[in-house]
Structure 1
Amino acid sequence: MKVENGVTASAITGVAWVKARASAGAGNCVEVAELSGGELAMRNSRFPEGPALVFTKGEVAAFVEGAKAAEFDRMTA
């Protein structure tokens, strides 16, 4: 199944949505699912029926690398 950006997350079937253990049930979570084509879908856990964004593994790896390097810290302060 080819999944496009903005598709309703509930339309993505046969995947396991995962959230970080650090979310601790506070409801402020991004959930991620690996798609059959190798891409990663992300959704807001507060709106699981809402849209999903789809990224390549390379795009996600670049974002995670930037987060680890504190490039986005000013946005969460």
Structure 2
Amino acid sequence: MSTTPTDWRKSRRSTNTDNCVEVGRIEGSWRKSSRSQQVSSCVEVAPTAVGAAVRDSKDRDAGYFTTTGQQWRLFVTAIKAGRFER
């Protein structure tokens, strides 16, 4: 899997300004969270050389964010510990 984003595009909310957010695409082996089961609102994860890329399955074209390996491990540990349960 490539960790270099491709297909960079300017955010739709960045009209005619030079200070814009650009979003790139990571191509590779995205997989749906094993905790998502049959729900359509899911998180998809792809491994990178330094951690993970995460995106929303409902809007794949919106982009993704990346984490380091340590950030990803801490996040998964917090989920397993129930820190995000209501």
TM-score, reference length from structure 1: 0.72
**What are the ranges of 5 or more consecutive residues in structure 1 without an aligned counterpart?**
none
Alpha-carbon distance between aligned partners in 1 of 2:50 and 2:71, rounded to the nearest angstrom? 12
Letter in 1 for 2:26: I
Higher strand share: 2
Letter in 2 for 1:40: A
Indicate the residue corresponding to 1:34 in structure 2.
47
Higher helix share: 1
Indicate the residue corresponding to 1:12 in structure 2.
26
Cα-to-partner distance string for 1:34-71 (whole Å, 9 max, x where unaligned): 12x32210000000111201001110110111111111
- Identical pairs, percent: 29
Q: Give matches, 1:59-74, under 5 Å.
A: 59-74=71-86
Letter in 1 for 2:34: R
**What are the ranges of 5 or more consecutive residues in structure 2 without an aligned counterpart?**
6-21
Greater Rg, structure 1 or structure 2? 2
Q: Which one has more relative contact order, counting CA pairs under 8 Å at least 6 apart?
A: 1
Letter in 2 for 1:44: D
State the superposition RMSD in angstroms.
1.9
The count of residues paired between Structure 1 and Structure 2 equals 68
